[in-house]
Structure 1
Amino acid sequence: MTGEDEVEVFLNSVFVRVKSWLKEADGSEVHLDETPSDIRRQVRLSLPLEGEGLEGALEGIDDFLLHSVRTHHSNFMNPLWGGFSASAFAGEVISAVAQSSMYTFQLAPIATLVEQEIISRMSEIIGFSDGNGVLTTGGSNGNMLGLLCARHSHYPIGMKTGVDGRNLVMYVSAESHYSALMAANVIGIGHDNVVKVSTDEDGRMNCNRLEEEIEITLTEGKTPLCIIATSGTTVRGAFDPIAEIAEIANRNGIWLHVDAAWGGACLFSNTHAELMRGVELADSICWDAHKMMGVPLICSAFIIKNPRILRQTCNHTRAAHYLFHSNTEDLDLGHMSLQCGRRIDALKLWLAWKEKGDAGWAKLVDGYVELAEYLEKLVVDEPSLELMSTRMWANVCFRYNPSSSERNSEIDLNLLNSKLRDELSATKQFLISRSNIAEDVILRPVIANPGVSLEVLDKLVSEIVRIGDELIAAD
């Protein structure tokens, strides 16, 4: 067999396994609920001294798929993503085949134009008429890039002289993503200068408290640098009031960045776009297509109203004479990125967008929220379940609470719900998240998987109630 024949047989074998993996999903377990020791006993993880050929690679593929979580399973509702997109999957494969890097137009000509088209369309949807941006390694990176742009806008000479961040302050919701702390650490602000603004009963940033915190900062002689408003918090799916926050930011000369990693897709929906009212007033935004839009990880956009600031923030490229040349300066996306080598993430989103169009994305968003509304109603109608937060988006936060009877009034509900989630996971039939709202342990299914249906949600609630009742009976 020639080398070409061997490769063809290998690729055919790979795709047989891919198709089998996809077909098996709903007739199989969501995950195996294994320990690291379980996997080590069954898989030859050590790397060989002598190559095992493509047969060794196929064995590795078989082992990997067997021991992976089936995130495309209809009962998978754990993180803010899930499911399978055939068109986006094709984009992943073709991107790997057309191996290149996104720093220059010369090396990635059509990929550059594809990414520019995506960023242009997202800017238009957001309301940034002259906006631009770049795909990044995720929402965490996008939030950090927003903070860097805020710092550069405030103190541009700092790129050369360095910046003492001890007097710079940023403001985030008390329920914001932890990447805000990571960004503060990386750019030298420090965790102590991250002000976590309290939220209202729905989990949205309290604007009155934000103004008070800004006043405290000024009184202390420090400089308010950036406000990060969250559109779709990780636990509750809450949307901070952007329009009101933007007015405060503008009045005080503070950069406003919107973390829309989870909630950005609401902008496609005529029904739900109101959740991000005022987003066009922000200075920058991050938006993950790999979350609700269902594109494979990683696919995340950072978009800025004033592209000049982004180019200045990423001005390190001036030293790279071996890559960048003046005749393609306006085309080379490396001038707007913190990365040098960068994979082609735009193709999978472009292909998925060609498949669905704006109308298809809107239908997807509306469908997920309708399913979340249905789950919310199931929870409210079930006497032993308690809704723990209002629902704005596709997150449904609740807990099992049988404490209406006198016998159950002394139950430790946090311990009970922690055990319940562990037992649910051990069935291998469902995978949902456990989280906290304040001091309360909650269950948090998220609808971001096209396989989820009304029947799946009925079964989920029945299973949670069954396990909870059994835990109470056994106590």
Structure 2
Amino acid sequence: MKSDSTVLPDVFRICFEHYNTAKNLPTGKIKNPNEILREFDFEIKKNPADAAELFKDMQLYLKLTPNTLTPNFQNQLFSGLNQYALAGDWLTSVTNTTMATFEVSPMGTLVEKKLIEHMNRLVGWENGDGTMATGGSNANMISLLVARNKMFPEIKKEGQLNKRLIIFVSEDAHYSFEKAANILGIGLDQVKKIKTNPNGEMEPSHLEEMARVSLSEGEYPFFVAATAGTTVLGSFDPIDRIHEISKKFNLWLHVDGAWGGSVLLSSRHRHHLKGIENVDSMTWDTHKMIGTGLMSSFFLTKHNGILRSSHNHGGEDYIFHESEIAEWDSGPSSLQCGRRSDALKVWLTWRSLGDLGIEIQIDNLFTMAIKAKEMILEYKELELMYEPSSLNICFRYRSVSDVNTLNKKIRHRLLEEGNFFINIATRKKETFFRLIIVHPDLNETHLYKLFSDIIRLGNKIKEETEFCMVKT
């Protein structure tokens, strides 16, 4: 198919229109796979499609994709998209460079390096290291790999051999650590879960007990992950106390701050990360609280040069040449060769807001989270499940019977109506709504409508159930 000069202006027009209008639109009705397969033609045919047909596909793609730009999207730990992040994404795509070498991506390399330097200083590291990753899960995996190669350097060449390596995570930690243990050959059985208190925070005393037991059994405990903002409750583990234990047992201390790392910019809420300057490494997703767009994930560490020593091997024969700028190549420090310059969208967003603007944005989110909690407490039909630690508000519709099933049905009806997109979670056999306060434009009107819809649907489902019981 020949290039059609009219295609890109039209594509930018519909993207621009979508961005400008989506904020004030509903999330869209959820569809099952068969519905989408009937509506959209996914087949790649022998003959090329023409520009008009492809443009129609693009329009339909926008229509059939849930709207995450509206404050009514409260399903994940992100919502909305800063306009400078979108601009950065477009610039990254149109320049189409790879971050493997400085000579191919000089601007991308410097933007990422300077951004990571700024982030490291916020943590408290003046001479740290870091790289962007394809998500917080991969950043957590990098932490495990770097820690393993630091603690047991022979494994990089010889393999794991007979060492039974042990890692510790809280029972509320993200599942990515188990995935990483699988990928790296550590094994799922070697991921030891540390108990959490009723607020979802790791119990340091249990960590110390588990470390002692592991050593007594001839194992090799080497890594502990604290969580700064758990996925369900939004809880922050006590980093300073965990650090004391990690020193005692020579454990690499990583903080999964994919969700909560951005509170570093808030003088009012930074206390959640007390002791962060003492840890070995950290994961931080700026696409969450700051709104820099997917994916904007960072692995940061206070150990300068450790990424290159851990990951570097090969490529000197064709891509990583000896030169006066070789030290600027980011490929040897990355798990990838080809890699987008994702730092640009983060850098532009950060430049547009400044540290102060981000602090105001985060403080406003915490204020709105308090308001959401207060509103829930005012409704007799709703029940607050946990005292909020940060921006995760866990609540449910009250019921004297089969409350878990009822709340699942309410969510399904919400998604069918298409005005709100909100998730549920199950913890300790109780199912409830997990409201995420993260869109910078979320206000009391959005919350009032959400809670009203949940109550309306809950009442309706209860009436339907009671009617069926009477009828039978």
Q: Distance in 2 between matches of 1:310 and 1:28?
A: 44
2:56 and 2:210 map into 1 onto residues whose CA distance is 57
CA shift at 1:165, angstroms? 6.7
> Do the aligned partners of 1:387 and 1:397 also contact (CA within 8 Å) in 2?
yes
Q: 1:379 touches 1:386 (CA, 8 Å); kept in 2? A: yes
Give, in whole Å, the separation in 1 of the partners of 2:235 and 2:440.
22
What 5-or-longer segments of structure 1 have no aligned partner? 404-410
**Mapping 1:1-400, distance limit 5 Å:** 6-7=4-5, 9-25=6-22, 28-164=25-161, 167-316=164-313, 318-327=314-323, 328-400=325-397
Greater mean deviation of Cα atoms: 21-30 or 261-270: 21-30
The corresponding residue for 1:461 is 451
Q: CA deviation at 1:425?
A: 1.5
Give the AA of the match of 1:422: H
| Cross-structure match for 1:406 | none
In structure 1, what is the Cα distance between the partners aligned to 2:129 and 2:456? 51
Q: Secondary structure at the match of 1:135?
A: strand
Question: What SS does the corresponding residue of 1:204 show, helix, strand or coil?
Answer: coil
Partner of 2:470: none
Cα pair distance change 1:53/1:329, threshold 3 Å: same
* Counterpart amino acid of residue 403 in structure 2: L
Indicate the residue corresponding to 1:470 in structure 2: 460
**SS of the counterpart of 2:221?**
strand
Is the partner of 2:305 in helix, strand or coil?
helix
Output the CA distance in 1 between the equivalents of 2:260 and 2:346.
17
Once the two structures are superposed, residues 334-357 of structure 1 have per-residue CA deviations (whole angstroms, 9 ceiling, x without a partner) of: 121010111110110111011101
Deviation at 1:22, TM superposition (A): 2.6
Q: Is the 8 A contact 1:166 1:193 kept in 2?
A: no
Aligned partner of residue 297 in structure 1, secondary structure: coil
Aligned-partner residue type, residue 321 of structure 1? D
Partner in structure 1 of residue 426 of structure 2: 436
Query: What are the ranges of 5 or more consecutive residues in structure 2 without an aligned counterpart?
Result: 466-472
SS in 2 for 1:235: coil
For 1:450, the equivalent position in structure 2 comes to: 440
Q: In structure 1, how many angstroms separate the alpha carbons of the residues matched to 2:29 and 2:312? A: 47
CA distance in 2, matches of 1:320, 1:456: 55
Query: CA deviation digits over 1:146-168, x for unaligned, max 9?
Result: 00111011111211111137511
Instruction: Give the TM-score, by structure 2 length.
Output: 0.96
Normalising by structure 1, report the TM-score: 0.95
Displacement after TM superposition at 1:402 (Å):
3.7
Structure 2: distance between partners of 1:471 and 1:39: 27
Secondary structure in 1 matching 2:328: coil
State how far apart, in whole Å, the 2-side matches of 1:165 and 1:402 are.
Answer: 53
Shift of 1:181: 0.3
1:166/1:189 contact within 8 Å kept: no
Deviation at 1:10?
A: 1.6
Distance 1:204 1:106, change over 3 A: same
Contact 1:72 1:451 in 2 (8 A): no
Query: AA paired with 1:446?
Result: I
Query: Matched residue pairs, number?
Result: 463
Q: RMSD of aligned C-alpha atoms? A: 1.4
For the residue of structure 1 that corresponds to 2:172, the secondary structure is coil
Deviation at 1:307, TM superposition (A): 2.2
CA spacing shift, 1:401–1:257, aligned 2, 3 Å: same
**Aligned-residue identity in percent:** 36
Q: Is the 8 A contact 1:78 1:433 kept in 2?
A: yes
Structure 1 residues 165 and 56, CA gap change in structure 2 (3 angstroms)? farther
Distance (whole Å) between structure 1 residues aligned to residue 50 and residue 309 of structure 2: 48
Preserved contact between residue 78 and residue 446 of structure 1 (Cα < 8 Å) = yes
Tell me how far apart the structure 2 counterparts of residues 219 and 442 of structure 1 sit (CA, whole Å).
40
Secondary structure (helix, strand or coil) at the match of 1:286 reads: strand
Instruction: Please give the secondary structure, in 2, of the residue aligned with 1:326.
Output: coil
CA distance in 2, matches of 1:385, 1:246: 39
Deviation of the 1:56 alpha carbon: 2.7
Residue identity in the other structure for 2:306: I
CA contact (8 A) 1:78 1:431 kept: yes
Q: Distance in 2 between matches of 1:27 and 1:259?
A: 33
Which secondary structure does the structure 2 equivalent of 1:445 belong to?
strand
1:459 positional shift? 0.9
Tell me the distance in 2 between the aligned counterparts of 1:165 and 1:30. Answer: 52
Q: Say whether the 8 Å CA contact 1:170–1:193 is kept in structure 2.
A: yes
- In 1, the alpha carbon distance for the partners of 2:175 and 2:163 equals 20
Amino acid at match of 2:288: K
Distance 1:213 1:165 in 2: 21
Q: Identify the match of residue 418 of structure 1 among 408, 418, 423.
A: 408
1:407 equivalent in structure 2: none
Deviation, 1:45, is 1.1
